[in-house]
């Protein structure tokens, strides 16, 4: 009888160890891969996405690594059409090319790329210049989230490669509900964003955001969710993508 009990005990211990070994904590790559699959997966790479943002019309065209981002808007001088692509940046005014200094070319490129980056999240988080670190789980408003820090290599990381981002993905669905980032341009600062009005258009998930600021020096970017929970962040603005449409196309 004692022999039997010892065998049962050994079997239970072995099963526990096997289960423990099979429950390794997730890593940043796995979490982002699952989030991308939920939000649109391969559709991001072969699509034309149109939307209006703050009075300007954007068209984001992608085809397996090729991209062409358009921005069209009007002012008192006429219609501007900006195009950022693998080949560089070009601006036209009423159909005529506008000569630009390298400084302004860089500024306009960066502004279009920034709008596209946030509109397409979490697409882009598997780019070669991206470094991901899993920071563990965190509860926000009673919901558990996987927390990922993202930094960028200088090579291929763009003009804002020193920025640091943190993303919160729901532990049960991998949906991206929150993000935060610190930036170095001008005097620098930090922002925290809550995703709202999440919807699917053409197989891709889009979100609007409520944008919050943290008082400089009082918070670390990784701790901004705590500031949000404690109502210590200042609501700055709402970020809305309007008239979103998704189509398939080829740029080749």
Which residues does 53 contact at the CB level (< 8 Å), separation at least 6?
A: 115, 119, 240, 241, 242
The pLDDT value recorded for residue 3 is: 40
Where do the DSSP E strands lie in 66-142?
Answer: 66-75, 78-85, 88-93, 96-97, 130-140
The pLDDT value recorded for residue 8 is: 46
* pLDDT band at residue 26 under the 50/70/90 scheme: confident
The pLDDT value recorded for residue 17 is: 40
Query: What average pLDDT does the segment 42-71 reach?
Result: 96
Domains and CATH numbers, the chain: 26-247 (2.50.20)
Query: What average pLDDT does the segment 60-82 reach?
Result: 96
pTM for the predicted model, two decimal places: 0.85
The pLDDT value recorded for residue 179 is: 98
Task: For residues 227 and 192, give the distance between their C-alpha atoms in angstroms, rounded to a whole number.
Answer: 9
Query: What average pLDDT does the segment 214-240 reach?
Result: 91
pLDDT at 225 over 90: yes
The pLDDT value recorded for residue 249 is: 66
Which tens digits make up the pLDDT trace of 90-121? 999 999 999 999 999 999 999 999 999 999 99
pLDDT at 9 over 60: no
pLDDT at 10 over 70: no
Which tens digits make up the pLDDT trace of 132-144? 999 999 999 999 9
Task: For residues 228 and 237, give the distance between their C-alpha atoms in angstroms, rounded to a whole number.
Answer: 15
């Amino acid at each position: 009888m004692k022999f039997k009990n010892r065998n049962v005990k050994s079997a239970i211990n072995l099963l526990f160890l096997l289960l423990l070994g099979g429950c390794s904590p997730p890593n940043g790559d796995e979490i982002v891969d699952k989030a991308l699959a939920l939000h649109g997966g391969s559709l991001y790479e072969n699509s034309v996405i149109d939307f209006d943002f703050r009075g300007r019309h954007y068209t984001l065209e992608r085809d397996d690594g090729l991209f062409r981002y358009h921005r069209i808007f009007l002012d008192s001088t006429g219609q501007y059409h900006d195009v950022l692509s693998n080949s560089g940046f070009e601006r036209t005014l009423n159909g005529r090319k506008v000569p630009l200094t390298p400084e302004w070319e860089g500024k306009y490129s960066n502004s279009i790329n920034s709008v596209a980056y946030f509109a397409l999240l979490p697409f882009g988080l598997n780019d070669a210049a991206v470094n991901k670190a899993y920071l563990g789980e965190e509860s926000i408003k009673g919901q558990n989230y996987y927390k990922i820090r993202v930094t960028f290599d200088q090579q291929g990381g763009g003009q804002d490669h020193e920025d640091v981002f943190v993303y919160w993905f729901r532990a049960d669905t991998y949906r991206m509900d929150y993000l935060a980032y610190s930036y170095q341009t001008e005097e620098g600062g930090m922002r925290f964003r809550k995703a709202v009005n999440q919807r699917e258009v053409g197989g891709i998930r889009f979100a609007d955001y409520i944008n919050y600021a943290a008082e400089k020096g009082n918070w670390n970017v990784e701790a901004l969710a705590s500031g949000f929970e404690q109502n210590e962040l200042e609501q700055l603005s709402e970020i809305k993508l309007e008239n979103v449409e998704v189509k398939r196309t080829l740029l080749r």
